[in-house]
Structure formats: structure tokens, C-alpha cells
Amino acid sequence: MSATVAYDVTRLVTRGLNAAPNGIDRVDFALARRLLGAAPAEALLCTLRGPRRAPGDLALRSIDEIETFWRETGSSKDDAAYARVVAALTNAAAPERIVRSLRGDIVRQNLRAAGRWALRGGLPASSLPPGAVYVNATGFLVDKPWFVRFLEQRADVKPVFFVHDLLPLEAPEYFRPVECANHARRIANICRLAAGVVVASHVVERSLQRFAARNGGREFPVCVARLPVARVFETPAIADPALVDRAYFVMCGTIEPRKNHATILNVWRDLAERGEAPQLVVVGKRGWLNDATQAMMSRCPALRGKVIETGGLSTPGLRRLLAGARALLMPSHAEGFGLPVAEAMTARVPVIASDIPVFREVGRDAIDLVDPIDGPGWRQAILDHAAPQSPRRQAILDRLAALGPDPAASFFEDVERFVASL
């Protein structure tokens, strides 16, 4: 690329106090590493003095520090949260909620680093080189008029945004009202300012085009690039010997209403009362509007010893946990992509997911689809996959084995070509 790429690291450098990355974090970090590692490139971040430019190599060092803190490049053997999950699966007396403790020295280190970024000087974003391409992979702060002002003042700078979904606008009942309002402004600014937009699915592409048509009809190019998964999911993994004879399932994602934990927990309670329940590991941090879900996991007697909640699990730990699982469960009411589905498919682990358009697209006919509100359907699917020598599970494994090349293999090249074409 001949034009300077200014990659926005504002959200990225704030993530060092989170115990583990979410899906947007993974995309942000992967794109930052790729684009900041190419020349000419530099970082852009919002400081207390407003949007400023910063050297790309400095931002890359911060990425390395945060990923080391998350243990992204380590082993499941180094993951205390993973070890506690294994203990909980094999010992009824083990804790049913596992939260990763944050070391005080690392917290202080990350706070100092965040402070240095917040107070950073350097040149203002308005001084970007002529014809620069500004890339924002998260939409962070794009809803703020004072933040996007530097883009409004520089018509030669080409903004490229990654739009992960429009769900707060399409399904506002699953979000806090303030997020719905912020997302409406965010998407409106993107449609008004973008030289190009990247999305992960055709489902989101169609949603974005509908929004743009309703709000002025401005046209801009869109690149559909299926999200890549971490390389650890591409490598074969042996199930933990302690879990070989145990039937358990994994559900992965922030605990929030859209993810539909309620349906799965009610199914599990029913199975437990019938004496048929396998074990379930709920992986993800607690989000919003989830009081009933939390109460059920912590207070329902039938779920004790059957449902284990864990936050802060490393990616290698999740990969090892999936290796022995009967299936990954993704009962979401709505998604923009569903990265855990792609991760499990890459690892050749069966997926039982909601029969919604985006999972039909991402699943490539190699996952088991159930209506998100069909409780009996989910119960039967779980029982079928839990059964030894399950024909239903084997059929999914056969489809996974027959999958052709992963469309995500060209993700970075597709994005780079798209940015260069602008």
C-alpha cells in the first residue's frame, strides 16, 4: 500500500484490564498487528488532548504486552482458569463459578501504560499525511461528534470502518437503551463518512445497505470478509485425559440476553430433573440485563454440579476444553457473525446453533441448526450429541471433515486489497 494507513488503537489499548478478549478484541488485535506491521503505517488514538498520531511500533509493543497478559500465545497448561474448570467438571465439590484473579502488579503496569497513552502528546490526527487511510475496526468513539471532527476537516483522508453488526438497531430489546442510541449515531456517522466499510457476513452487509437507504442513500463500497480464527484452533488438540469419559458441552459468549442462555439453562434444569443432564461449561464474562440468568446459575439447586461458569479462560484453554466437548452450543437470537462457531468448526468440533440467517451462512451446512426458542428441539439435540456413538453427532463430524478451504483464509489479503483500492 502506498498511502499511509492510520490504524485506530484507542479501544485496543484500553483492553489490558480485561481478563480475556472477546470477539471484537480478536478482530481488532489481528488487524492492528497486520496493518501496523506494514509500511507506511502509524497508530491513531484518542487522548485527553483529542485524537493524536503515534508510532506504529509503539502500539505493537502494547499489543504484545496485552496478549502476553491474556496468555494468548501460551499453553492451556499455564491457564489456572482452565485447570479449575477441569477440576469442577471432575469434582462435584469444586466451585461452580470460576473467575480469573488479576495479579496486582500486572494491573498496576497496565494502568500506568493506559495513563501514558491517555496523556500522550505528538501530532494531532488532523495532520495525517495527504491521502491517508484511516482504519477503525471497532466503531469505538465514532458516535461522538467531537471525535469524528478531524475526518470532517480532511476530505482527502479515506475512512474505512469495520461494522460488526447493527443489532442494537434491529433488536433493541436485547440492549441497554443508551447503547441503542449510541449505535444509531455510530452507524449514521459511518454511512456519512466512510470511503469503504468491511463486514464479516452478507447478513450484516444487507442490514447496512438497508440502513443507508433509509438514511439518505449515500453509496460506498463494502468488503465482505469472513473473520479469521486464532491459529491455535487450526492445530490438533488432544482432549484432557481427565475429561475423556465425561459428556460435557461448552457455551461461549458474553452473558447477555441476546446470547439466549435462558433457553439452554431451562433445558439443563429439565434434563437434571429427569436425571439425564450432561455437564455444561458457560464461558464468558457477565454482561448486561442478565439478573435472571445469573440467579439461575448461582441459585437453582438442579443445576449444581451440572453448570460451571467461567470467565477469563485463555484461548489455548478454550481450545483444549473444546477438544473434549460433545459440542459447542450457540443458541443466540441474533449475531453479526458468531466467531465461536467458526473457531469450533476450524477445530472440527460439532456445533449446535440457532437456525438464524447468519449461522446458516457461517456454518456452511456443517453445523446442527435448531430454532432458538425450540426448547424441546434443543433438549433432543443435546441428548443426541451426548449419546455414545451418536449418529447425529457423527453426521456433523463427517460434514466438518468434508469442508473445503476456509473462506477466511484470505481475510487479511481481502482487507488489504480493499483498503488499497480506495
SS (H, E, C) 320-331: HHHHCCCEEEEC
Report the CATH number that the domain containing residue 256 is assigned in CATH. 3.40.50.2000
**Neighbouring residues of 347: CB distance < 8 A, sequence distance ≥ 6:** 233, 234, 237, 319, 322, 323
What are the pLDDT digits (tens) for 44-65? 988 888 898 988 888 888 777 7
Residue with cell 447468519: 358
Q: Are residues 209 and 244 in the same domain?
A: no
Q: Is residue 320 packed enough to be buried (19+ CB in 10 Å), middle (13-18) or exposed (0-12)?
A: buried
User: 368: which strand partners?
Assistant: 352
Is the Cα torsion angle 367, 370, 372, 375 positive or negative in sign?
Answer: negative
Q: Are residues 359 and 323 in the same domain?
A: yes
Q: Are residues 48 and 83 in the same domain?
A: no
DSSP string, 1-64: --SPEEEE-TTGGGGGGSSS--HHHHHHHHHHHHHHTSSSEEEEEEETTEEEEEEHHHHHHHHH
Q: Are residues 350 and 277 in the same domain?
A: yes
Helix (H, G, I), strand (E, B) or coil at 97: strand
Could you tell me if 46 and 147 are in contact, meaning their C-beta atoms sit under 8 angstroms apart? Answer: yes
Q: Are residues 334 and 394 in the same domain?
A: yes
Give the model's pLDDT for residue 69: 66
Q: Are residues 142 and 280 in the same domain?
A: no
Q: Are residues 237 and 203 in the same domain?
A: no
Give the model's pLDDT for residue 252: 95
Residues of the chain under the 70 pLDDT cut: 1, 16-20, 68-74, 92-96, 99-121
For residue 17, which of 106, 79, 118 has the smallest C-alpha distance?
106
Q: Are residues 275 and 358 in the same domain?
A: yes
**Neighbouring residues of 180: CB distance < 8 A, sequence distance ≥ 6:** 168, 169, 172
Q: What is the C-alpha to C-alpha distance for residues 201 and 166, in angstroms, rounded to an integer?
A: 12
Could you tell me if 244 and 357 are in contact, meaning their C-beta atoms sit under 8 angstroms apart? Answer: no
Task: Give the side-chain half-sphere CA count within 13 A for 204.
Answer: 26
Looking at the structure of the chain, the number of domains it has is 2
Q: What is the C-alpha to C-alpha distance for residues 211 and 214, in angstroms, rounded to an integer?
A: 5
Domain that holds residue 152: 5-71+105-228+409-421
Report the CATH number that the domain containing residue 22 is assigned in CATH. 3.40.50
Q: Are residues 85 and 111 in the same domain?
A: no
Q: Are residues 151 and 265 in the same domain?
A: no
Burial 170-196 (b: 16+ CB within 10 A, else e): eeeebbeeebbebbbebbbbbbbbbbb
Q: Are residues 132 and 48 in the same domain?
A: yes
Angle at 64 between CA 61 and CA 66, to 5 degrees: 110
H or E element, residue 82: helix 80-90
Q: Is residue 307 packed enough to be buried (19+ CB in 10 Å), middle (13-18) or exposed (0-12)?
A: buried
Could you tell me if 357 and 245 are in contact, meaning their C-beta atoms sit under 8 angstroms apart? Answer: no
Q: Are residues 224 and 298 in the same domain?
A: no
End-to-end CA distance of the chain: 10
